[in-house]
Chains A and B, each alone.
Chain A
Amino acid sequence: MEIPELKRLDVEIEPWVCTQCGNCRTVCPVFEQLGWESASPRGKIYYIKRLLQQRPSRRNRMDDEFVKRIFQCSLCVRCEEVCQTQIDMMRLWQAVRADLGQRGLWPKEVQAIREAILSQYNLYSMSNSRRTVWAMMIEEQVLPKVNQMADVAYFVGCVAAFTGRIAGIPESTVAILDSAQVDYTILGPDEWCCGNPLFFVGAHAEAIELARHNLEKLRQLQVRQLVTSCSGCYRAFKNEYPRLLGEEIGIEVLHFSQLLSRLIDEGRLQFSQPREVTITYHDPCETGRHCGIYDEPRYVLSSLPGVELIEMPENRGQSGCCGGGGLLKATHPDLSLDIAERRIHQAIHAGASVLVSSCVTCRLQMSEAIRARNLDIGMYDISEFVAQFL
């Protein structure tokens, strides 16, 4: 059987170099929950190889269970960290998901997300004119910033913009930007989904329009620096756009934790509200393993008066996953929460009373797990936590 998407994403060789050593099994959060070989990265890769070895025939078909397993993955790529032969797991999973899409085998949740993004330009199928709904309580502060010429653009992202439960993230972000006297703009209704959910399923061609639109709007406002508190948007702008468009995007892309680090260094943030608290930091997969941001958030959190930052045994490149990425939350919500619960227990076991992350999805996901599983720990995004010290 042919899987042309492997060639398109330049991962044709990857299934063949797998040594089946099983290192990936030990760290895979999904395998840890399910325990079946088919749920492990190596099991999936072995089956992909078997498919490639099949002679082309009309009788060839994808196994339904395999299709399910391919979407039982948070794309955390911990598997890549421990892989003997350093397989490009992210691209491999993207390619296989893209192939399944072409065969019409995507789960209905994925199909719905795709349609929402392509028709409404956001994840939730909401009217994109409501992009600033999060700022309902601070309209006077935020609305004047929409579509203004500025050096810095705050790219809010679909999750933070439309999910009321975490409206505190964009609220805190603009509070900090204002406190540090950063001249910024937001795109408002002109902000389209960054396309990250489409990248997760290898639908790169469909994400091109989104990328072009967002970059055009940013360039019109002569933006030189893009800041986002969403690790998915950060990943899209930083990793996917240059690759997709075949050129540098010409705008510096910063995650909000990186900007915070700079603002602290420049003395532009004053923390006047000390608070004695023991916290731990959860590295989001998309800023951590995918993009290598480990030091800046730790530097920021360590700079807060009264805060003791402790580490969980799994941290940085070996960080556990929150289970919310890779569209797993949409396709397998219970499994996704089980993974989050495991990670939260690690934070509690480490002795932290507050868990901080720097990703809107991690924040949403872990807060939900804390509530649903009745766990005793506080959960904040780095923007929300830092804002408490201003």
Chain B
Amino acid sequence: MEEMRANEPITNNECSSAVFLLYCSIVLLLYCSSLPALQAANDRVCIIITGLGGVPEYEENFLRWSSEMETVFRNELNSAVYNLDGREQKKPDILQVFDQVSLSLPLDELWLFLIGHANHDGRHYKFNIAGPDLTDEEIKTFLEALGRTRTYIIAATSASGILASRLGQKNRVVVTATRNQFERQPPLFMSFFVEAVTSAEADTDKNGKISLLEAFLFSNQKVDAWFKERGRIQTEHSLLDDNGQARLGESQGTLGSDPGAHGTFLASRAFLSAPPEQAYRSLEAKQLASERVEIERNIEDLKFRKTQIPEDKYYRTLEELLVKLAQINEKIEQLEAGR
């Protein structure tokens, strides 16, 4: 009984209770860095597995990145978080967490972060932890047990590119730091991914939230720039497999020329930060805000149909909608300013 509870994510509801303190101590004993989420959302779980660093420099980076992602999911997104330290927690411990999560269905979203070193032995992707490595087959088995849960996998490891094809499928986004199993250098990808989550620059659609797609595009471009700036041969090329249908990587496909395509990605609707809180004082402002949502939906719909509409007509309609939207916002601003 005690062991079962130890593998459960800790929620903020329990934070104030004395039982929670005891619970916390047990968890800390078992999972060194598995810290409690303040307000775990029942519908979203995040599992972060940090692998072996090998050298202190890597170890420090891996742990820092894991800790930062944990903070994001725990504090910003109110998610249940399992932060598993692969130096201490071996394969059975991790598989036990997998089992436990799959038993807690239904879930809306599952996020799985693999941060560390990995290799490919010609047959299997192997994530390096203490004792036997965690394999792609074990991850796959776990993911298959999740049924309809939308799943987001961020494999920030060497040789991770193979996972895009091994794990990519409908209702799933797989982000890998490398484009294949042959890119074996420790990747920089995760450092930029962490930066993206808090960067206004990464919020390219200016909606105040960072989507997984935005974080990926930001990191992908930053990695590219890092190597170019130093005149080095690029040893990593990240990939994003979306819904088992679209693959983004070195070439961003239609994304550059067709902004409407963004919205078609599952990764564009998965967020790594919470939307800004907006409370309106006047009733009229509240009404306008709901009208605004309608226009925003119309804009997204128009963008989605961009390729089917003559260009002139598309931009004319877009401008009309955008002007309306801007006018509504202007009005809301005036109302809220007390005019």
Do A and B share a complex? no
